[in-house]
Chains A and B, each alone.
Chain A
Amino acid sequence: MKKLLYIIILLALPFGKVFAVDYNASAFGCVSDGQTNNTRSIQAAIDMISAKGGGTLNFYVGRYLTGGLELKSNVTINLHEGAILVASPGFYDFIQKAGKRYFIYAEKQENIKIIGKGVILGQAALVAPNIQNQVNKGFVKESVDSLLPTLVGFSHCQQITLDGIMLRDASGDVLDLDHCSQVTLKNQLIKAHASPKGAGLRLAASTEVSLDSMYVDVAGKALVKDASSKISRINKSVTPNGKPIK
């Protein structure tokens, strides 16, 4: 019996190790000057870490300009205090999925975390003119409103944790959850005023969602959810006028 336990521990050790691996963004050539577009470097880092079994990608203080990114299973993004993922405002720089556009996106993934005191910044004021420009020139047919990218979107994902990071300056909705479950949102400041209808959190068919110590300051509704979505717990979460989020 004891032997079996040892074997199990020995077998588990390498996995434990793999999950604890830390990677620094600079090792992938990421530059924190706010000017260099880091899309391919960051995506390569996420893909590689996920393929190797998971780990943490660390961003330290600085502005990391990037186009849309797809998060992958078992990858933790740690935005340390002062680290900012800044959305590149180019019209074609966002992730496009099923007619919707996103800055940070994940689909059919699990065990994803974005943690730290850092920021995900949408740069709405720079994004909108680029959309208008492409619409005016006739290269895209949709309405400007439908082209406003959501800041962070998860679709068909499980075990998502967003802890501490600030979500700011979204062009459209701030955080979209579609067919997701086991979602933990806590200690977050959400600020976005660019889109009059932009929701703070938009839930569709998502369950086991918990909110703890959230401050949601948006032009639209703080929380929009359909009938099939279920919030398991809301604690100490308010809007700017002090009203609890419901």
Chain B
Amino acid sequence: MKRLLTLIMCLCCLQVLAKDYDVKDFGVEGNGTTLNTRSIQAAIDYVSTHGGGRLVFTPGNYVTGTIYMKSNVILHLERGASILGSLNPWDYDKDPYINWKSLIYAIKQENIGITGQGIINGRGFDNAMNTLNLVHRGLIEDELKYDRVREWNRPENIYFRECKNIKMIGITLKDPGSWNQTYDQCQNILVDSMTVDSKSYWNNDGIDIVDCKDVVIRNSHFDAADDAICFKSHDANAICENVLVENCTARSSASGLKFGTVSRGGFRNFVIRNLTVYDTYRSAITFAAVDGGLVENILVDGVRSINTGNVIFLRIGDRWSKGKRPVMRNITIKNVYAEVPMDKPDKGYNYEGPIEDLPRNISPASIIGLPNHLIENVTLENIEMVYPGAGNPYYAKRGLTPEELDGIPEMEAAYPEFSQFKELPAWGFYIRHAKNINFKNVTFRAMAPDYRPSIVADDLQGGSFTGMTFDEVKAGNKEQIFLHNSKNVEIQK
């Protein structure tokens, strides 16, 4: 009897947790014009203080300014329901704790989420333009770096900070004014079956995971003007760790999957499986430790990189480290097929990546540390990279003499990009300041003759190249691996 009572009580609790509320019952209008900020907030507060549940948005267009998620509330957007960001910049908060504008915040909340087949559309382009106009009229202060409003003065769609148990399932996130969705120092995040269409304005990332633990991102599609799937570490005493990314596709006018740029604490224990990156301007995969951070224990297994400007860029720099030692080690990247185009890969998308760092011929994939901070223990296995070749020394030249190789600048304080060194001396892969780098069964193809060898390693302290295939048009017996200042490197054809 007691047991039955307990069971019934449990069931009741479950029912309470799962209770649905129609947002329209709180006076919210889905007519595309009414500004619903206060009524939606009232609804969220009510549901949170009454045991939690789902706040359901039936089909309609719900305009709102900044709202705050509260514990135990799920926003459920039915198919045909859109939350539209207000076009008035004053309708957005710049939360003093976050110091960055957002449409939807959650700060120190638990058991929250946004689910359903609906859309959140920040209408970021119009928001950015309206904000810019207010800056030109002197009503909002902004330095207008690069002639645009700084990213923290434009609203993101979502900013969650120090939250636990987050579920983001099924929804579409569109057109933010800045980054799209940031999860900062959160724990236990599930992103599943999400669609991101994020190319309405500058800095439109796909997703930003900052110093979070226990994260799963799966079955999702990210199309972004800036980095598509991006992990950051803002806090030197925090770290991104225990992360699974699987079955995702990414398109970007920057990088497909990226660690950094801000990388103070670091990134540890990642599994990235079955990732497709296409029409992407910069690198399919970028791991940057440029602010004193750690990158450790990373497995990347299964990548298709099609029509993407660069395949792999691993970089240690020394930008904002403040004496902290950057570390990058124990990385395995395997089962990769990549095609690098001659043309601009993101041609025709909104906010294409900038043409910069010219003149340079097609840039190689690269692993580039610093003289005192080597990148260690990297395995590259079962990989095929197809390049256009056609490097022309009269256009840009970096030869193989010691002077030319040593003349490549270290650029430790520069913003890390695969193109930052301008012309590099290899067409396939360039390695510098690294230790124990092992290539197994790796194929490089060049569709036209290139004046450079396929691989150049400079200051490589131990490593191996086994099962290598080089297939460069009209290359003859050209030596495709060139070592400089390197030792204990084994080459087996």
Q: Footprint of B on A, CB under 8 Å?
A: 24-27, 31-35, 58-63, 81-84, 117, 119, 166, 189, 215, 217, 238-242
Whether A62 contacts B354 by the Cβ 8 Å rule is: yes
Instruction: Decide yes or no whether B403 CB sits under 8 A from chain A.
Output: no
Q: Footprint of A on B, CB under 8 Å?
A: 125, 129, 132, 136, 144, 146-148, 201-202, 349-352, 354-356, 358-359, 392-395
Contact of B354 among A81, A217, A239 (CB under 8 A): A81
- Provide the residues of chain A in CB contact with B392, threshold 8 Å: 240
- Provide the residues of chain B in CB contact with A241, threshold 8 Å: 394
- Provide the residues of chain A in CB contact with B350, threshold 8 Å: 33-35
- Provide the residues of chain A in CB contact with B359, threshold 8 Å: 189, 215
Q: Which residue of B lies closest to A241 (CB)?
A: B394
CB distance from A221 to the nearest CB of B (A): 17
How far, in angstroms, from A61 to B226 measured CA to CA in the complex? 13
- Provide the residues of chain B in CB contact with A33, threshold 8 Å: 125, 201, 350-351
Residue contacts A-B, CB under 8 angstroms, 6 given: A26-B147, A34-B349, A58-B147, A82-B356, A215-B394, A215-B395
- Provide the residues of chain B in CB contact with A34, threshold 8 Å: 349-352
Using known A-B contacts A27-B136, A33-B125, A34-B351, determine if residue A240 contacts B395 with beta carbons closer than 8 Å. yes
Whether B147 contacts A25 by the Cβ 8 Å rule is: yes
How far, in angstroms, from A176 to B469 measured CA to CA in the complex? 48
Whether B355 contacts A26 by the Cβ 8 Å rule is: no
Whether A82 contacts B355 by the Cβ 8 Å rule is: yes
How far, in angstroms, from A215 to B351 measured CA to CA in the complex? 28
- Provide the residues of chain B in CB contact with A27, threshold 8 Å: 136
How far, in angstroms, from A58 to B125 measured CA to CA in the complex? 21
- Provide the residues of chain A in CB contact with B393, threshold 8 Å: 242
Whether B394 contacts A81 by the Cβ 8 Å rule is: no
Whether B146 contacts A61 by the Cβ 8 Å rule is: yes
Q: Which residue of B lies closest to A168 (CB)?
A: B355
Known: A61-B354, A62-B146, A63-B351. 20 other contacts (CB 8 A): A24-B147, A26-B136, A26-B147, A26-B148, A31-B129, A32-B351, A34-B349, A35-B350, A60-B147, A62-B202, A62-B351, A62-B354, A117-B358, A119-B355, A166-B355, A215-B394, A240-B392, A240-B395, A241-B394, A242-B393
CB distance from A57 to the nearest CB of B (A): 11
CB distance from B349 to the nearest CB of A (A): 8
Residue among B147, B350, B392 with max Cβ neighbours from chain A (10 Å):
B147
- Provide the residues of chain B in CB contact with A31, threshold 8 Å: 129
Contact of A84 among B144, B201, B355 (CB under 8 A): B355
Q: Which residue of A lies closest to B129 (CB)?
A: A31
CB distance from A223 to the nearest CB of B (A): 16
Whether B201 contacts A60 by the Cβ 8 Å rule is: no
CB distance from B392 to the nearest CB of A (A): 6
Using known A-B contacts A238-B394, A240-B392, A240-B395, determine if residue A60 contacts B146 with beta carbons closer than 8 Å. yes
Whether B355 contacts A32 by the Cβ 8 Å rule is: no
Residue among A33, A59, A81, A217 with max Cβ neighbours from chain B (10 Å):
A33
How far, in angstroms, from A134 to B392 measured CA to CA in the complex? 38
CB distance from B189 to the nearest CB of A (A): 31
CB distance from B94 to the nearest CB of A (A): 21
- Provide the residues of chain B in CB contact with A166, threshold 8 Å: 355, 358
